[in-house]
Chain A
Amino acid sequence: MDFGAINPVVLVASLMVAAVPIMLAAIGELVVEKAGVLNLGVEGMMIMGAICGFIVAVRTGSPLAGFAGGALGGAVLSAIFAFLTQFLLANQVATGLALTLFGLGLSALMGQGYNGIKPPVTGPVPFGPLADIPVLGRILFSHDWMVYGSVLVVAAVWWVLTRTRTGLIIRAVGESHDAAHALGYKVNRIRLGCILFGGAMAGLGGAYISLVRVPQWVDGITAGAGWIALAIVVFASWKPWRVLVGAYLFGGITVLQLNLQAAGSTIPVEYLSMSPYLVTILVLVLMSSGRGRAGLNAPAALGQNFHAAR
């Protein structure tokens, strides 16, 4: 591939920004799936986060409140999913898909009258002289706080899942809910907590799109980011740090294809436009071949509903 006039430093800096929404949504979904729940409604929760965050930010004038509102919006939508799957024992795949469609419709309804409005600006974190360091300054010290926040969330999830008792319980619930139940853990309540966390993270990712990346509201603004987040969880074989790698990879390809165009690459535009999705398919095929490593890493009770009476 011809990288031509593309500045790698600028490319890395912009892929870090492009990766934030999918990284947040993917790390949330990872926790949900680690607890044995498959929530395919990530796209719906993201777009609810996008509109709720936008409305709150515009009304209050504070981006911080906006992000909180976005997380809340995503969590509220995921609570519907939790109620249906954990208490009414509805099929998780069907409910998740329905959640996406519902979220897309509801967000369009809520967004009426919010088209064409500018949200308050989320500026870069002031690192002072640090931002002027060549190369490193541009890559590491020129972003808004959500970029750093998303990396911290990944670190925190890794630490909780692998180093704490809470993480052990979540993983136990996801591997064998019957065993966890026999030990006295409240399986459904733990899963409820994880689903709400996943919803909040997806909402936060959505709010990042409508408040920082675009920044404005339009119907269908997430444009499939939720599905890429779902693919990243599998790509990462349910390991937090690999979510970070996956998100940067996918974000990087998206940014790269537009940069290649802007730099006057001779590759036809159509191939560039489809490249992120081609890579998604390719990675999923590679992951699922090769002695089923991806399958081995999947939580054993993924997608199975639990009821104490059974």
Chain B
Amino acid sequence: MLRRTLLATAAAGLGLMATAAASAAAGMDHVKACFVYVGPIGDGGWTFQHHQGALAVKEAYGDKVEVQWQESVPEGADAERVLTQMALGGCNIIFTTSFGYMDATNAVAAKFPNVMFEHATGYKREHPNVSTYNARFYEGRAVVGTIAGRMTKTNKIGYIASFPIPEVIMGINSYYLHAKKVNPDVQLSVVWAFTWFDPAKEADAAKALIDQGVDVITAHTDSTAPLAELAKTPGLVGFGQASDMEAYKPLPRVSSIIDNWAPYYVKRVGELLDGTYAQTDAWEGIAGGEVKIGEITDAVPPEVKAEAEALRDAIAAGTYHPFTGPINKQDGTPWLAEGQVAPDGDLLGMNFFVEGITGAIPN
């Protein structure tokens, strides 16, 4: 039975290669789903949420799936080795959960046309067996930006950025635009940490921002360290990033942007099982349930809470897009005209700050 399945899969794979279309038409009885994580599962943020998604897959399909994962895989040559190992080890579908795995994912995918690769937050799909998936985190940034603009007393808000990639720049712009919308005096300080996960550095970055008089900080890094630093001084405000980070409620964590990968993972593995799997480029947001806004605590005044929730609901309903013109680029040149909505292509390649943000994007 198993041999026959294998043969069927192999035949399907050959067919795939011939037609260069990534649809495992035959379906499968058993799927081994593998996950590559950039940090430890215990980071309480990004990787933790991906792992929750992996566990949801196991729960949804029980004995029909086997789930395997590897933590703290460095982006670069090591990632390629890990991916090769997983592909050789019988994984049918491999989720690579960090932007930096992009080239490694595509390189290994070329060698294993029968293994499906799913790369998070990337844009390269060089082979028919590579899909990409992402979440519209900028929608969440718009909501927390609104809260930040209302909550700051010093009119200085901070952003701990990881790497200068479109994903992060998009988040900074969205956060700033919506803080500015409710508080025209707001100033944004950006600190580049050049890491996804280094709690000591993230804490130092938060401290530097606080020393500069910043009283509301959002982080684009994966650990809870910035919240831990904020918690040392009463009255400062921060947000859970990637995960709810409810340990820091009600202050400094007043709300959070939660990545909810479970529906996507369950859907994709399910498609592989029933044979409807095809290459995609998924980008869901608040409406699709991939981005959730964590509970807004009582530390936030009720009217601000209502305002933030209204914004969240408008985005979910599709009546409001966080990047709606008129928006100028940092140098004053127009980007979006009045009422124009940013096309996805512009967002995915975003390499500029919007007007009003000081400081340059590092190369």
Contact = CB atoms under 8 A, between A and B. Distances in A.
B211 A116 contact: no
Contacts of B158: 262
B237 interface: no
Interface string A8-24: 00110010001000000
A218 B212 contact: no
Contacts of A254: 204
Contacts of B213: 5
Contact of A216 (B204, B209, B223, B360): B223
Contacts of B144: none
Given A259-B208, A269-B362, A218 B43 contact: yes
Given A218-B223, A255-B208, A268-B362, A262 B189 contact: yes
A216 B228 contact: yes
B203 A262 contact: no
A273 B208 CA distance: 14
Interface residues of A, number: 36
A121 B247 CA distance: 14
Contacts of A261: 189-192, 205, 208
Contacts of B72: 219
Q: Which one of B200, B201, B228 has the greatest number of beta carbons of chain A within 10 Å?
A: B200
B224 A116 contact: yes
Contacts of A264: 189, 358-359
Interface stretch (A80-88, A207-215, A289-297, A301-309): A207-215
Contact of B214 (A113, A121, A262, A270): A262
Contacts of B200: 209, 213-214, 221-223
Interface string A181-210: 000000000000000000000000000010
A7 interface: yes
A216 B225 contact: yes
A263 interface: yes
Contacts of B15: none
Interface in B38-56: 40-44, 48
Nearest to A115: B42
A6 interface: yes
A115 B222 CA distance: 13
B212 A259 contact: yes
A59 interface: no
Nearest to A4: B212
Residue of A218, A219, A259, A263 with highest tally of chain B CB at under 10 A = A218
A223 B201 contact: yes
Interface string A96-113: 000000000000000001
Contact of A263 (B41, B192, B212, B225): B212
Contact of B192 (A11, A216, A266, A269): A269
A11 B201 CA distance: 17
B329 interface: no
Given A214-B225, A214-B228, A262-B212, A219 B40 contact: yes
A258 B362 contact: no
A14 B207 contact: yes
Contact of A273 (B194, B211, B359): B194
Given A221-B200, A262-B158, A6 B212 contact: yes
Given A223-B200, A263-B189, 16 more contacts: A14-B207, A115-B41, A214-B199, A214-B200, A215-B228, A219-B40, A259-B212, A261-B192, A261-B208, A262-B191, A262-B209, A262-B211, A268-B362, A269-B194, A270-B362, A273-B194
Q: Which 9 A/B pairs are nearest by Cβ-Cβ distance? A: A115-B42, A258-B208, A116-B44, A262-B212, A262-B208, A10-B211, A116-B42, A259-B208, A269-B362
5 contacts: A214-B199, A218-B197, A261-B189, A263-B212, A268-B362
